[in-house]
Amino acid sequence: MNRYTKIYLTIVLLVTSMFVLSGCSQRSAHYGHTSKARYKATMRSYRVKGRRYYPTYVAVGDTMRGISSWYGPNFHGKQTSNGERYNMHGLTAAHKTWPMDTMVRVQNLKNGKSVVVRINDRGPFVRGRVIDCSYVAGKKIGLDRLGIAPVKLTVLGFAGKVYKPAKKEAKHLKPRVVLDDFGIQVGAFHKYEGALVYKKQYTNTINDRLRIVIKKFIVDNEPLYRVWVMGFGSDDEAIDFIHDNNIEGGFLVRK
């Protein structure tokens, strides 16, 4: 191998290394501690103890109230839903539906104490409970004494970072976690009245995150009203909805 060949190979290795490092840093900045593939996987609906849960998207400032608990030594070192190892000494928490790496302020409504945690797991699967704090996070707000407490949750940011708005930034520009808007077609009618009946029927069966829309198309010079259920976070989640509700002839659509 001559001197020029060695120089060429050195340059190639340096460029390749820079590309790889750049790719990793970009992914980390956008998805926080969770990879893109795992992030999308954790936004699929899932079933626990016979109940199906639908992960939802949230915006900075969104709130939720309920009961908080904490989990510690029995889970220390075990894998969490986003692929990390649970660390009872870290400021993390489990939530049933909010996106992974969402930053949340947990305020104990009994003593006023609060702590900022990062969502990295799913749970708690107990009626009335909205969040499971790590041991250290729970201790900071007094959960180690009573075990549970009424809390208020406030979304502060995403990708493991707390959102800090510019002074003149408009309120409607607050960041929001959004993936592609997947949907399914549940029916198609030549008369609008038929589509309206279907829309009302499915409105009673979906959660608040999903929505029913009627889209008008012209087929063979005649109107065709298609009824779509929109708002799924992935095609897998949409397919799950078709199977769970036995929708004959249902298929995926995209806006």
The residue among 173, 196, 213 that closes a domain is: 173
Q: Tokens 């199906």 map to which residue?
A: 52
47-68 b/e (C-beta count within 10 Å ≥ 16 → b) = eeeeeeebbbbbebebebeeeb
Residue 15 falls inside a structural domain: no
Q: CA 74, CA 193: separation in Å to the nearest integer? A: 57
* pLDDT the model gives residue 37: 72
**What's the pLDDT tens digit per position in 33-81?**
877 777 777 888 788 988 888 788 788 998 999 999 999 889 999 999 9
* pLDDT the model gives residue 220: 83
Q: Are residues 167 and 211 in the same domain?
A: no
Question: From start to end of the chain, where are the E strands?
Answer: 46-48, 51-53, 63-71, 92-94, 103-108, 114-121, 129-134, 149-158, 161-162, 182-189, 211-219, 222-232, 251-254
Q: Does the structure show a pLDDT above 80 at 95?
A: yes
How many Cβ atoms from other residues are within 10 Å of residue 146's Cβ?
A: 10
| Average pLDDT of the residues in 177-205 | 83
Q: CA 97, CA 202: separation in Å to the nearest integer? A: 22
Q: Tokens 């926080």 map to which residue?
A: 32
Residue 21 falls inside a structural domain: no
**Residue 190 corresponds to which tokens in the numbers above?**
């030549």
Q: Are residues 156 and 215 in the same domain?
A: no
The residue among 128, 146, 173 that closes a domain is: 173
Q: CB under 8 Å to 234, separation ≥6 — which residues?
A: 40, 43, 44, 179, 180, 182
Chain centroid to CA 93: 14
| Average pLDDT of the residues in 208-237 | 85
Residue 6 falls inside a structural domain: no
Structural domain of 89 = 46-173
Output the average pLDDT for the chain: 81
Residue type, 234: S
C-alpha gyration radius of the chain: 23
Query: How would residue 119 be classed by pLDDT, with cut points 50, 70 and 90?
Result: very high
Residue 39 falls inside a structural domain: no
Q: Are residues 51 and 115 in the same domain?
A: yes
Q: Are residues 103 and 197 in the same domain?
A: no
Q: Is the bond into 124 cis (omega within 30 degrees of 0)?
A: yes
Query: How would residue 239 be classed by pLDDT, with cut points 50, 70 and 90?
Result: confident
CB 204 within 8 A of CB 255: no
Chain centroid to CA 225: 31
* pLDDT the model gives residue 139: 96
* pLDDT the model gives residue 70: 95
**Backbone phi and psi for residue 249, each to the nearest 5 degrees, phi listed first:** 85, 0
Q: Structural domain tally of the chain?
A: 2
* pLDDT the model gives residue 244: 78
* pLDDT the model gives residue 180: 53
Residue, of 29 and 136, whose pLDDT is higher? 136
Residue 197 falls inside a structural domain: yes
74 phi-psi bin (left φ>0, alpha ψ -120 to 50, beta other): alpha
CB 46 within 8 A of CB 123: no
Residue 216 falls inside a structural domain: yes
CATH of the domain at 121: 2.40.40.10
